[in-house]
Amino acid sequence: MNRLSVSAPGRICMFGEHQDYLNLPIIAAAITKRFFVVGAARKDKQVTISLLDLNSNESFGLSENIPYIVERDYLRSSVNVLMREGFTFSRGFDVTMSGNIPINAGTSSSSAMIIAWINFLTQMSDQKITLDAKEIAQFGYIAEVLEFGEPGGMMDQYSSSIGGVIWLESFPEIHLESIYPKLGSFVLGNSQEPKDTKFILSRVKKMVINIINDLKKKNPVFSLQNIRIEELDRYRDDLNQEQLELLQGTIRNRDITFEAKQVLITEQLNHQRIGRLMNEHQNVLRNVLQISTPKINKMIDAALNAGAYGAKINGSGGGGCMFAYAPENTENVLEAVKSIAPESWIVNVDDGTKNGEAV
């Protein structure tokens, strides 16, 4: 195979924001915003990559243990991970990468790049293997999260690789379900506010994990997966008000996610109820986890006033994107969000990583 084009989608987290790294379930959907990798084999073992959206270039040789030269060097880490797993490369590639996923905006542009890149690499390797989507996702998780000790979970890699709508649990072991609700359109709005994903994930994750660890020291059977929200009264003496509210919010988001799954797997999908659950989720993200922003709150209010059933911030928060569920009044919702954030689009649920020419 001398030339290959591969793509992978971005994603929205419908339910379960800030849950997957706590081993709680999420519901995510791949969307019609994609990242493309197009390349051809060379005669030597050099890799050249043209990153069109960033107007930059990368190059490195295909040797074992390629050194990392920038923070979160995902292009090189993907190759290193595959080589450790037995993939070999007798020839390098000339590659162009581009996409229409908002960058650093909570829609998983980095994970889409990694998933498309790994899919490209395995097919262009000496082994010429087309991996199962779950295998690609796992390699992507290793290359993006484990390789650099990042605080994120597995949602982005699995959603981008598998596509559609997924239910993902990671406790007590990884459990993945593809679900097939007949969803309408969404409106995705980019606030264009800069966000520090690593900082936000670390802050929120650290706060909740510290609470859990402290409670387990006093009560070893404490389980975030099983405790009911009304049972938290027994821990009032062990937590200050902020900690109690954060724990309550985390459990409420967990319960919303389970409730949403039951709605989504019902044959006659209740679109309004999905929207209401999104709004409840956003209330916790805004008021308890405090990851929303005034501009995103304004975008959400505009979407709801224009006829969206529900809306929430997307991703780790602190900026980036929001989305609104608007199976009806879609164009009106788009214009309302655009009036605040001109970089907004109508998106739908999309396939996972696949071969095909860039557009």
- Calculate the alpha carbon distances from 51 to 33, 54, 58, 65, 265 in Å: 17, 6, 8, 23, 39
Provide the whole-model pTM: 0.93
pLDDT value of residue 153: 80
Structure tokens at 12: 């929205």
Instruction: Please give the pLDDT value at position 358.
Output: 60
DSSP assignment of 268-318: S--HHHHHHHHHHHHHHHHHTS----HHHHHHHHHHHHTT-SEEEE-SS-S
| Overall residue count recorded for the chain in this entry | 359
Say how many C-beta atoms besides its own lie within 10 A of residue 191's C-beta: 26
- In contact, 155 and 174? CB cutoff 8 Å: no
* CA–CA gap between residue 241 and residue 35 (Å, rounded): 43
d(CA 333, CA 32): 18
Q: How far apart are CA 71 and CA 148, in angstroms?
A: 9
What confidence score (pLDDT) does residue 298 get? 98
Name the one residue in this structure whose structure tokens are 């992978």.
8
Closest C-alpha among 66, 64, 89 to residue 77: 66
Determine the pLDDT at residue 104: 87
Residue 236 is classified by DSSP as G
**pLDDT tens by residue, 177-199:** 999 999 999 999 999 998 776 67
Distance, in Å, from the CA atom of 224 to the CA atom of 203, rounded to the nearest integer, reads 18
CA dihedral 229, 234, 240, 243 (to 10 degrees): -30
In a 13 Å sphere around the CA of 312, the CA atoms on its Cβ side amount to 28
Query: Which residues, 6+ apart, have CB-to-CB distance to 218 below 8 Å?
Result: 238
CA distance 248 to 355: 44
Please report the domains of the chain, with CATH numbers, ordered by start residue. 3-183 (3.30.230.10), 187-347 (3.30.70.890)
Chain mean pLDDT for the chain:
93
Predicted local confidence at residue 236, as pLDDT? 86
- DSSP assignment of 127-162, as one string? T-----HHHHHHHHHHHHTGGGT-S--SHHHHHHHH
Could you give the 3-state DSSP secondary structure of residue 94? strand
- In eight-state DSSP terms, residue 116 is H
Pairing of strands 46-51, 93-99: parallel
Taking only the tens of pLDDT, the chain with its 359 residues reads: 579 999 999 999 999 998 988 889 999 999 999 999 999 999 999 999 999 999 999 999 998 889 999 999 999 999 999 999 999 999 999 999 999 999 989 899 999 999 999 999 999 999 999 999 999 999 999 999 999 988 778 999 999 999 999 999 988 888 999 999 999 999 999 999 987 766 777 677 888 889 999 998 888 989 999 999 999 888 888 888 888 999 999 999 999 999 999 999 999 999 999 999 999 999 999 999 889 999 999 999 999 999 999 999 998 888 999 999 999 999 999 999 999 999 999 999 999 999 986 65
What DSSP state is assigned to residue 102? P
Phi, psi of 255 (to 5 degrees): -70, -35
pLDDT, tens digit, 9 for 90 and up, residues 104-115: 898 999 999 999
Q: Cβ neighbours of residue 158 under 8 Å, at least 6 residues apart?
A: 28, 134, 137, 141, 166, 168, 176
The answer to whether 221 and 308 are in contact (CB under 8 A) is no
pLDDT of residue 194: 83
